[in-house]
Copies of this chain bind each other. A is one copy, B any other.
Amino acid sequence: MNRFLSLGALEPGEIRELVALAGRLEARPEPAALAGRVLGLLFFDPSLRTLASMQSAMARLGGSSFVISPGRGSWALETRDGVVMDGAAAEHVREALPVLAGYADVLGVRAFASLSDLEADLADEPMATFARLVDRPLVNLESAIDHPCQALGDWKAMDDLGVPPAGRLVLTWANHPRPLPLAVPAAVAEMGALRGMEVVVVRPEPYAFPPALSARVARAAARGGGSFRESAERDEALAGAAVVYAKSWAASERYGDGAAESERRRALADWCVDEPWFARAPAARLFHCLPVRRNVVVADRVLDGPRSAVVHQAHQRLWAQMAVLHRMLAGRGNG
């Protein structure tokens, strides 16, 4: 495996093997599997879990890592082709990415959505560029429209918690002070569909998935044996859910426009996941990718109660990413 850019690029059986490998590495550490190997981490955007869990994952396999953050200790990087670089960016990714890849055995890159050009974000343009520039193993640490490490960890978390393969996964839009990318909703819906789940996205109408994303999830459902539909009927959707996955995202219309979103969301403050939501799904677990804004996205009593799986979810990032790194590098000759 030389690329881990989207869960959808793998067959469901390959994903199950990765989840199984994650479980084996959790149960039986391999502290020397990647001795002498180096993970390069390039963070265009902030991180807490991903940074910590990637560095810990590499260390627990015996390897090392370095971190480069454009704009915070390194200069801004240009991603557009053909520009006259007389502005803020001192270096182009056409140099920076191959250079960093040469110092590492595997490269992980985070580059959030533009939140200004929906088409470009749906096409995952910068990550596609990075993949063309780098021939070493490459891991997507959240791109414009994907977050496969999150999705893989969530799959494992569902397995751990006994969520049935064909159970209902309700991905619900939630309120938030700002418009947020579609990356996690896309990755999670696709993951559920590939896992064979009944995926229901529930959201106010303005937050309907863009058609290209809906088509992607539907394809995943066809491959994985799951199903996919969207709904604006919250109560109906939540009934019988095995997992309620809370997440905010930006509307497709006036995409990323903070003022428009604020206006629209004024009437949507009740889209804060709270205990009454679970009336017809009493055993459902609450998932969220984190960071979560308490009492805006999810109420305290849900996050502090027994149905919350969010910390367990986050912990699975460690083992999931160890599996990815192990699959990419273990047994291969040195860089």
Contact = CB atoms under 8 A, between A and B. Distances in A.
What is the oligomeric copy number?
A: 3
Interface in A42-58: 43, 46-49, 51-53, 55-56
A181 to B, nearest CB: 13
Interface in A87-105: 87, 90-92, 94-96, 98-100, 102-104
A283 interface: no
A46 B66 contact: no
A164 interface: no
Contacts of A36: 29, 31, 59-60, 62
A78 to B, nearest CB: 7
Contacts of A38: 56, 59-60
Nearest to A82: B300
A315 interface: yes
Contacts of A94: 294, 303-304
Contact of A31 (B35, B60, B69): B35
A83 B83 CA distance: 46
Interface string A61-96: 011101011101111001000111111001110111
Interface residues of A, number: 65
A293 interface: yes
Nearest to A35: B31
Given A52-B104, A91-B291, 18 more contacts: A36-B62, A38-B56, A38-B60, A40-B52, A40-B56, A47-B74, A48-B75, A48-B99, A48-B100, A64-B64, A75-B291, A85-B293, A85-B295, A94-B304, A95-B290, A95-B311, A98-B311, A103-B315
25 contacts: A31-B36, A38-B60, A46-B73, A46-B75, A48-B68, A48-B70, A48-B100, A51-B66, A56-B64, A59-B63, A59-B64, A83-B295, A86-B296, A87-B177, A90-B291, A90-B293, A91-B293, A92-B292, A94-B303, A95-B303, A98-B311, A99-B315, A102-B314, A102-B315, A103-B315
